[in-house]
Structure 1
Amino acid sequence: MSSVVRRGLPRVAGGAPWPPLDDDVVGVDAAPSRGVRAGHAAADVASTASRAEGPQDGGPSRAGTTPPALPEVAAMATEPTIAEAANPGVRRGLPRVAGGEPWPPASARPLAATPGESPGAATTAAHEPAPTPRSTAAAPPASAAPAASVPTRPPLRGRRTVFPTVSSERWSALRAERLGRERPTEVEAPRRTGLLLVGAVGLGIAAGMLVLLTRWLLSTPAGAAFLAAYPGEYPLPAAAPVGLPPWLGWQHFLNVFFLVLIVRSGLQVRHQKRPTAFWSSRRDPRHKISLTLWLHQALDVLWITNGVVFLVLLFATGQWMRIVPTSWDAIPNALSAAAQYVSLDWPTENGWLNYNALQQLAYFTIVFVAAPLAIVTGVRMSGVWPREAPRLNRAYPVEWARAVHYPVMLFFVAFTVVHVGLVLATGARRNLGHMYAAQDGDGWLGVALFAASIAVIAAGWLAARPLVIAPIARLFGNVGTR
Structure 2
Amino acid sequence: MVTDTKTKASTKKKKKKKGKRTPFRQTPWFTVVWVAPILIAVLAIAVVAARWFVGTPTGAEFLANYPGHSELPEGTPEGFPWWAQWQHFFNFFLIVLIIRSGWLVRTQRKPEAFWTRNNTGRFTTKRPPTKMSLYLWLHLTLDVLWVLNGLIFVILLFASGRWARVVPTSWDIFPNAVSAGLQYLSLDWPAEMAWVNYNALQVLAYFVTIFIAAPLAAITGLRMSPVWNNDWKISRFYPAPLARAIHLPVMFYFVVFIFFHVVLVFTTGMRHNLNHMFSWMPEGSDSWWGFVMFALALLVVVAGWILARPIFMRSAAQLTGKVTSR
TM-score under structure 2 length normalisation: 0.87
Q: State yes or no: 1:215 paired with 2:215.
A: no
* 1:127-142 equivalent positions in 2, closer than 5 A: none
SS at match of 1:240: coil
Residue 432 of structure 1 corresponds to 274
Q: Which amino acid aligns with 1:323?
A: V
**Shift of residue 286, structure 1, vs aligned partner:** 3.9
SS at match of 1:443: coil
> Is 2:130–2:226's contact at 8 Å kept on the other side of the alignment?
no
- Looking at structure 1, the residues matched to 321 and 33 of structure 2 have their Cα atoms a distance apart, in angstroms, of 49
Aligned-residue Cα RMSD (Å) equals: 2.0
Q: Which amino acid aligns with 1:370?
A: A
CA 1:333–1:297 in 2, change beyond 3 Å: closer, same or farther? same
Residue 71 of structure 2 corresponds to 235
In the TM superposition, what whole-angstrom CA distance separates every residue of 1:49-84 from its partner, at most 9, and x where no partner exists? Answer: xxxxxxxxxxxxxxxxxxxxxxxxxxxxxxxxxxxx
Paired residue for 2:88, among 252, 256, 272? 252
- Looking at structure 2, the residues matched to 366 and 196 of structure 1 have their Cα atoms a distance apart, in angstroms, of 26
In the TM superposition, what whole-angstrom CA distance separates every residue of 1:86-115 from its partner, at most 9, and x where no partner exists? Answer: xxxxxxxxxxxxxxxxxxxxxxxxxxxxxx
> Is 2:183–2:189's contact at 8 Å kept on the other side of the alignment?
yes
Which fold has the larger relative contact order, with Cα–Cα distance below 8 Å and residues 6 or more apart in sequence?
2
Q: State yes or no: 1:296 paired with 2:139.
A: yes
- Looking at structure 1, the residues matched to 211 and 130 of structure 2 have their Cα atoms a distance apart, in angstroms, of 34
Q: State yes or no: 1:381 paired with 2:224.
A: yes
Residue 395 of structure 1 corresponds to 237
Q: Which amino acid aligns with 1:467?
A: I
In the TM superposition, what whole-angstrom CA distance separates every residue of 1:438-480 from its partner, at most 9, and x where no partner exists? Answer: 4312211111111111110001001000011010001111111
* 1:110-129 equivalent positions in 2, closer than 5 A: none
> Is 2:177–2:199's contact at 8 Å kept on the other side of the alignment?
yes
**Shift of residue 287, structure 1, vs aligned partner:** 3.0
Residue 450 of structure 1 corresponds to 294
- Looking at structure 1, the residues matched to 325 and 41 of structure 2 have their Cα atoms a distance apart, in angstroms, of 52
- Looking at structure 2, the residues matched to 199 and 258 of structure 1 have their Cα atoms a distance apart, in angstroms, of 31
Residue 116 of structure 2 corresponds to 280
Q: State yes or no: 1:409 paired with 2:248.
A: no
**Shift of residue 320, structure 1, vs aligned partner:** 0.6
Q: State yes or no: 1:315 paired with 2:173.
A: no
Paired residue for 2:210, among 361, 367, 374? 367
**Shift of residue 207, structure 1, vs aligned partner:** 1.8
Residue 352 of structure 1 corresponds to 195
Q: State yes or no: 1:184 paired with 2:40.
A: no
In the TM superposition, what whole-angstrom CA distance separates every residue of 1:149-201 from its partner, at most 9, and x where no partner exists? Answer: xxxxxxxxxxxxxxxxxxxxxxxxxxxxxx9xx8227xx479x75x7544433
- Looking at structure 2, the residues matched to 462 and 444 of structure 1 have their Cα atoms a distance apart, in angstroms, of 27
Residue 463 of structure 1 corresponds to 307
**Shift of residue 217, structure 1, vs aligned partner:** 0.6
Residue 333 of structure 1 corresponds to 176
Q: Which has the larger radius of gyration?
A: 1
Tell which deviates more after alignment, 231-240 or 218-227.
231-240
Residue 128 of structure 1 corresponds to none
**Shift of residue 387, structure 1, vs aligned partner:** 2.6
Identity of aligned residues (%): 50
Tell which deviates more after alignment, 281-290 or 347-356.
281-290
**Shift of residue 386, structure 1, vs aligned partner:** 1.8
- Looking at structure 1, the residues matched to 26 and 132 of structure 2 have their Cα atoms a distance apart, in angstroms, of 37
**Shift of residue 367, structure 1, vs aligned partner:** 0.1
**Shift of residue 206, structure 1, vs aligned partner:** 2.4
SS at match of 2:48: helix
- Looking at structure 2, the residues matched to 443 and 196 of structure 1 have their Cα atoms a distance apart, in angstroms, of 39
Q: Which amino acid aligns with 2:39?
A: L
TM-score under structure 1 length normalisation: 0.59
Q: Greater helix share, 1 or 2?
A: 2
- Looking at structure 1, the residues matched to 117 and 130 of structure 2 have their Cα atoms a distance apart, in angstroms, of 7
Residue 418 of structure 1 corresponds to 260
Residue 319 of structure 2 corresponds to 475
Structure 1 unaligned spans of 5+: 1-178
CA 1:230–1:460 in 2, change beyond 3 Å: closer, same or farther? same
SS at match of 1:280: strand
Tell which deviates more after alignment, 359-368 or 275-284.
275-284
- Looking at structure 2, the residues matched to 261 and 201 of structure 1 have their Cα atoms a distance apart, in angstroms, of 31
Structure 2 unaligned spans of 5+: 1-17, 120-126
Q: Which amino acid aligns with 2:131?
A: K
Structure 1 runs (4+) deviating above 6 angstroms are none
Q: State yes or no: 1:201 paired with 2:37.
A: yes
CA 1:340–1:292 in 2, change beyond 3 Å: closer, same or farther? same
